[in-house]
Structures are given as structure tokens and as C-alpha cells.
Amino acid sequence: MSTADQRTKRKVTLIPGDGIGPEVIAATCRVIEAVGAPIEWEPAEAGASVFRKGIATGVPDDTIASIRRNRLVLKGPLETPVGYGEKSANVTLRVLFELYANIRPARELPGVPTLFSARGVDLVVVRENVEDLYAGVEHMQTPGVAQCLKLMSRKGCEKIVRLAFELAVAEGRKCVHCATKANIMKMTEGLLKRTFEDVAREYPQIRAEHIIIDNCAHQLVRFPEQFEVIVTSNMNGDILSDLTSGLVGGLGFAPSANIGNEVVMFEAVHGSAPNIAGKNVANPTALILSAAMMLRHMGEFAAGATIENAVLFTLERGEARTADVGGERVASTTTEFTDAVIRNLGRRPSRFAAREHHPLKLPSVARDPVLVRPKSRKVVGADVFIESGLDPVSLGKSLERLVEGTGMALASCANRGVKVYPLPSDLVDCVDHYRCRFVMKEALAASPGRAAGASLADGPEMLDANLAAVLHRIGAEHRWMHVEKLQVIDGAEAFSKAQGEG
């Protein structure tokens, strides 16, 4: 009787996926069985076959129920419709089970030559996984102007930042970089930066550094060895983690974990590669290494290290290489590579041995939806988004006339983030989408500098009745599609200004 048979087996939901998914899943299951890990698979379905059944999420109820029961998932790649149709099944799984963190290691591998070989690349990207632009809140605001809302919360930022520091502790790393675009998006990306700075104080043993995301990308392709852990937002993390995979050999070597407090899902980063599906040539390394991460999550640290060392030994010896490493003429099949890894279980490479891991402590963040409770707040105006083919001056004069008698006044109009009224620039190439900012008339009259962007923090409060009157008047002559209230929170303006607004 094997060691696995003597222990209570952990049920794991197994999603083979699309394209090469079933092949790399089968290879990985063989390795896990060979190492004697105590796992019982519960097969489930998601992706293309589910979309074809007319299930718009790509994830059927049976699969959801299996994940709810088991709380642990090993998943192959899933196809995602591009530019039309249904939501991504991958994103559905992440948001449905609050898999708020995506952990993607990128480490130099023996026998996998790259431009950065012998540089000692060994880093982890910790990507926020459910918020940001990937919340998928989009609208066509005019027939020619699309909007995507970038939603970031203090709670989401705190969970991902805390996890990044805990990962550094668990893996014995000394530095965490936070990569943001806070110099431009001061409310959203700035929230991540501020949260990082707050949480960093609780980990004095870890060096905490903020870096602008574009500089981070620049530094990664010049001096990648300087990074250990990079925590960043969803879209930035998606892009940056693919870049880091490219540093060490490509997506075929890129494992990942999707972490939630209740459910954890492990998967390879690569796609379904339908062009090579069924040919037994896919590289299973990424998924095998993802399975090693899964075993560590289960507390099976020895089994996880055994698998990782066997992969490293196989690559170092070069006895089996899939086409993405060895070239097609000398390439091993998926089966041959897997056979080699199984033969090498228990062996260790001469260098690049598996990193020592300790249990990862998941962050504890209050489940109360209201995480931030300000001492004061008030509404001082509103941005009304208007569809109009008028030039800025004509639109501005029209709006000033329309809102007379409502208690409010037009402060400015902007087009694609640039102030165009008053004092318009004839160099701006306008579209039919204006952000029109309205404030209480007394605030505008009391501050001659308002047109140049003077503060509204001390201005009078706007009532819903004032806004309703403005919208009623505007709607009589113009098409409006979106409204945002302008808030002052704890004495500070909680909204951005257009370029040129001061």
C-alpha cells in the first residue's frame, strides 16, 4: 500500500480545459500519482465545451458545486472569446470564488537558455486578480466612445499587499516592490500605493519600495535580478507577469496560483494552444510546477519539492526537452518529458534546487463591506457626461444658459481628459463626449479662480434636488449618459481634474 493510500486523500476539482489542456493535465496527474501525493480527483467541466452548450459564463452549476465542496482546483487552460460574446470563464472562476491574488513565480531554469541566463532571475509577481479594469464594467457612452470603469478598493488593495508581504516571509525574501501608475491615476493606482505604504510598516524586516510601473518594466528587461516580489494591480500584473515569464523561457514554464481565503485554484499561465492540441507536443512544465505549488498549499511540502527538483533535474540534464526548448528536430513528446520527470523523482539538480518554503499565512481583512469610515464627507458638485457634436464654446454657452435658476453653475467642460471650456484650446481634437463639471453657484461666484481649478473643499454642499434640476434642464436639449458626484472626504477633494484645469 502506497503512502498516499495510507493517508486521508484530499479531493481536488480537476478541470482539464480546452486545446492542450487535457494533455498537460494528464501528464501532471501522472507525476502527482507517481510522487504518492494523497489526492482524489473530481473531474469537472469549464470553457469552450460549456460555452457551446449555451452557458454564458462557461462554468456550469455542477462545476461550481464541486469547487464549493472541495475548495481546491487544478485547472487546464480555457478558451476565451475575443472581442465579442461571453465573459471569460477564467475571470468567472476568479470573481465567483473571490480568488483575489494571482501568484506567478519567474525563475531562471537550468537547461532553458534565455537572454538572461546566469543572471539569477528569481522573482514572484503578486497580481490583484478581481478588481481594476478586469471588473469588466464597460459601456458605449456614445456610438463612438467606449468607457471602462477602473474599480479599486481599499479592501482589495489591502488583501493583495498583505499577501505579498506574507509571501516574502514564507519564502525568505527580503524585498517587496509595489508597481503602480500612481503618478497619473492618483485615486485608483494611488490607493494601492498608499495602502502599500501603510501595510509595509507592519513588516519592518522586509524592504518596501514603490516603483512606477513603466519603470518597473524597463528595469525588468535590464536588471531583473534586482527584484524578489512585485505586487501590482490587475491589468498591470497581467502584462508584467507575462513579461517576467519571457525572461525565463516563456509561458511553457510559467506556473501560477489563484489565491482566495476560501478557494485556491492552480493553473498554468499559458493558453489552450489549439494549433498543437492532440499532437502530444505540448510542454507540461508549467502545469507540473503549478501542481507542486498546490501540494505546498496542502502542506505536502516534501512532495512539492520532490516534483520541482525532478523537473529541474530533467531540464538540467537535457534528457528530455519539448519543442519550445529543444527545437522540433530533437524535441521530446509530452509523454516522453513526463516519463523523464517521473524517472527523476527523488533526484536533485546540481544547482537551482527548489526554494525552501514555509506555510503561507493568508491575510485577514474584515468582511465588513465598509472598510474605510471617514470623519467627514460632503458632495460639492457633479460631473455630467454629455454626448454632443457641438464645439466646446457652443456647448458651454448652452449649458450655462440651461442651468440658470438651478442654484448650480458650469465650472468647466473637458473632452477626453483635457479642459476645453472656458478658455478652450483649438488644438484639441474633440469627440462627441464631454465631461461637464457643475458646482454650486455660490462656490463659483465666491472664488474667481474656480475656472482655473481652485479647491471646492470649503464650498457649499450640493443637494440631490440641485442635481435633479440640472439633469432635467440639460436633458431638454442634450443627451447625457452618466453622472458622478464630486465628493470632499476628510477635507480633501476626492476627484480628479482635467488636464489644464489646475
Enumerate the active-site residues. 134, 181, 214, 238, 242
User: Is there a contact between 362 and 51 (Cβ–Cβ < 8 Å)?
Assistant: no
Secondary structure E strands in 44-152: 72-75, 101-107, 122-128, 138-142, 145-148
Which of 336, 282, 328, 286 shows the shortest CA–CA distance to 19? 282
Cβ neighbours for 264, distance < 8 A, ≥ 6 positions apart: 71, 72, 73, 99, 257, 258, 294, 297
**Hey, which residues does 410 pair with through a beta bridge?**
438
User: Is there a contact between 11 and 69 (Cβ–Cβ < 8 Å)?
Assistant: yes
Which ranges of 208-284 would DSSP assign to H, the alpha helix? 213-220, 234-247
DSSP string covering 427-462, please?
T----SEEEEEEEEHHHHHH-GGGGGT---TTSPPP
Tell me whether the omega of the peptide bond preceding residue 422 falls within 30 degrees of 0, making it cis: yes
CA distance 3 to 372: 49
- Return phi, psi of residue 186, to 5°: -75, -25
Which ranges of 455-500 would DSSP assign to H, the alpha helix? 464-475
Residue 442, Cβ neighbours under 10 Å: how many? 13
Q: Which three cell numbers stand for residue 208?
A: 518596501
CA distance 129 to 449: 42
What sign results for the dihedral spanned by CA atoms 56, 62, 63, 67?
A: positive
Q: Assign 3-class secondary structure to 189-215.
A: HHHHHHHHHHHHCCCCCCEEEEEEHHH
DSSP class of residue 416 equals T
CA distance 212 to 190: 11
Helix axes 285-297, 301-317, angle to 10 degrees: 160
Which of 488, 416, 497 shows the shortest CA–CA distance to 452? 497
Cβ neighbours for 468, distance < 8 A, ≥ 6 positions apart: none
User: Is there a contact between 280 and 333 (Cβ–Cβ < 8 Å)?
Assistant: yes
- The secondary structure element, H or E, covering residue 164 is helix 154-170
